[in-house]
Amino acid sequence: MTQITLHNTKTRQTEVFVPLNPANVRLYLCGPTVYDRAHLGNARPVLVFDVLVRLLRHVYGADAVTYARNFTDVDDKINDRAAATGRSIRDITDETIGWYHADMDALGADRPDLEPRATDWIPAMVEMITGLIDRGHAYATEGHVLFAVDSYADYGALSGRSVEDMIAGARVEVAPFKRNPMDFVLWKPSDTDQPGWDSPWGHGRPGWHIECSAMSYGLLGASFDIHGGGIDLQFPHHENEIAQSCCAHPEASFARYWIHNEMLQVEGRKMSKSLGNFFTVRDLLDQGVPGEVIRLVMLGTHYSRPMDWTEDKRLTAEGALRKWRALTAGAAPGAIDPEVITALADNLNTAGAISALHRLANAGDAGGLLASAQMLGLLQDGMGDWLAASGDDAALVDGLLADRAAAKAARDFAAADAIRDRLVAAGVVLKDKPGGVTEWQIGAGADLSSLKG
Ligand SMILES: Nc1ncnc2c1ncn2[C@@H]1O[C@H](COP(=O)(O)OP(=O)(O)OP(=O)(O)O)[C@@H](O)[C@H]1O
Ligand SMILES: [Zn+2]
């Protein structure tokens, strides 16, 4: 059986992955808070986990993997959005979940097996909080329930900080009723105009962290294999999940491997809704960037490295997919290249797997390329429509580029430049690469009619 290694944030080591039960490998990914369209950064953990799940299904069997990803549909950001728009919370969260599905589907990400909504799990959260109070890990005060970080000796182990460092470094919400400033909310009171549920501590709503602890326990059990999310969630969200889950179920291990993806950045800073420096997946799709081009760009960088979205990467990915789709048109999938599996099994080396795809393409191995690309969720059936739609235009541009190359070869540079100018004037973006290769892209607002005839 293929041996998979993964970098475990919890131990800071790259470890051989050994599932608790190879017949049921269980993963949990923290999903979105649903009040707005997903930005491109939000797609990164989805794509990383989609490839991880594909690999696990390949190794352990299609039915031997259970993948859960939640929707956080109770949160103050959602309440704010509802108040600002006059719309109901349910209306906003339903609509946003619909968008999220459509956008992630367009990137070729399979839907998880389980997609719990937090609001369907309130009784489980109340039960877990009650257990934490009974065991002396939480206390109720002034309508709130707080987790007592001093009651859990390992608090801070995931992010490698002591409680003292956290207090010094964090902007913690100071509340007079907190025993320790790092104590965090498990339950808080709701006004009549806020979403709320009856509980032993009055009418209120859960804190964000308890949602994931309660849902992962309910769906995957007290011990499961892999927990993931962006590195921005390591502290405090994941630290708090561990504290809650391990104190509620001290006999169990909770998640054994923690996988954190680095951030998609814009000019060196995390792409984020709060910073306002984002564009959505839908923005890109609407601009005509095909979902599988977005996917290939995102998988081109290892998940543990920060990355930028650049126009150059987009052009390169589109050029590669155009070539791969042409080569594999009508081909039946062959065998998956072992190098692709070896690369993925090596802590999800997606860039290494993509290099193997280039090698297969250069060798003209259509069946091998198709099967191997599909291992990465690329060249999926039904995702190549963008190429058919642009097929005539592609032939037109390729024909003119061939004329230009011929003119250059004949040292008729004036003619070569004239062809280049015509293409650029029509809105085709050209990028000359080493080795006489020209990558191209039909730019936004292009009009190719001047190139015809
Ligand atoms: N720039 C980014 N790059 C990679 N992953 C990200 C990025 N931003 C968020 N994520 C991940 O997306 C998932 C969903 O994030 P969430 O809905 O909590 O809000 P958010 O987009 O992080 O909000 P904000 O952008 O305001 O910080 C989480 O796993 C998070 O780690
Ligand atoms: Zn979570």
Condensed to tens digits (0 to 9), the pLDDT of residues 121-172 reads 999 999 999 999 999 999 999 999 999 999 999 999 999 988 888 887 766 6
Of 387, 403, 421, the residue that ends a domain is 387
Closest CA to 336 of 378, 295, 374: 374
286 & 191 share domain: no
Atom 2 of ligand 1, nearest CA residue: 41
Least reliable range by pLDDT among 52-56, 92-96, 300-304, 387-391: 387-391
Of 238, 261, 284, the residue that ends a domain is 261
Number of domains forming the structure of the chain: 3
Mean of the pLDDT values across residues 106-118?
Answer: 98
Residues 93/33, Cβ–Cβ less than 8 Å: no
Mean of the pLDDT values across residues 252-261?
Answer: 98
269 & 338 share domain: yes
CATH number at residue 246: 3.40.50.620
Residue among 29, 107, 232 to mutate when testing ligand 1 (max atoms within 8 A of CB): 232
Distance 149 CA to ligand 2 centre (A): 18
132 & 149 share domain: yes
The predicted pLDDT at position 263 comes to 98
Give 197-240 pLDDT, tens digit per residue: 999 999 999 999 999 999 999 999 999 999 999 999 999 999 99
The span from the CA of 31 to the CA of 69, in Å, is: 5
The predicted pLDDT at position 85 comes to 94
342 & 253 share domain: no
- Return the bridge partners of 430, or none: 440
336 & 297 share domain: yes
Distance 321 CA to ligand 1 centre (A): 28
The predicted pLDDT at position 453 comes to 67
Mean of the pLDDT values across residues 175-184?
Answer: 91
Tokens 């990137």, residue?
Answer: 107
Query: Which ligand is the nearest neighbour of the Cα of 36?
Result: 1
179 & 38 share domain: yes
The predicted pLDDT at position 390 comes to 66
Confidence of residue 389 (pLDDT cuts 50, 70, 90): low
As a whole-number percent, the residues of the chain with pLDDT over 90 amount to 83
Please report which residue ranges of 223-349 form alpha helices under DSSP H: 239-248, 281-286, 291-299, 311-328, 338-345
Distance 208 CA to ligand 2 centre (A): 8
The span from the CA of 283 to the CA of 226, in Å, is: 32
Ligand 1 interacting residues, C-beta cut-off 6 A? 30, 32-33, 41-42, 44-45, 229-230, 232-233, 261, 263-264, 270-274
Q: Is the pLDDT of residue 5 over 90?
A: yes
Taking all residues of the chain, what is their mean pLDDT, rounded to a whole number?
94
415 & 366 share domain: no
Atom 27 of ligand 1, nearest CA residue: 272
Mean of the pLDDT values across residues 282-293?
Answer: 95
In this predicted model, which residue has the larger pLDDT, 451 or 168? 451
Stated pTM of the model: 0.89
355 & 227 share domain: no
Name the 3-class secondary structure at 60. Answer: helix
Of 261, 283, 317, the residue that ends a domain is 261
369 & 283 share domain: yes
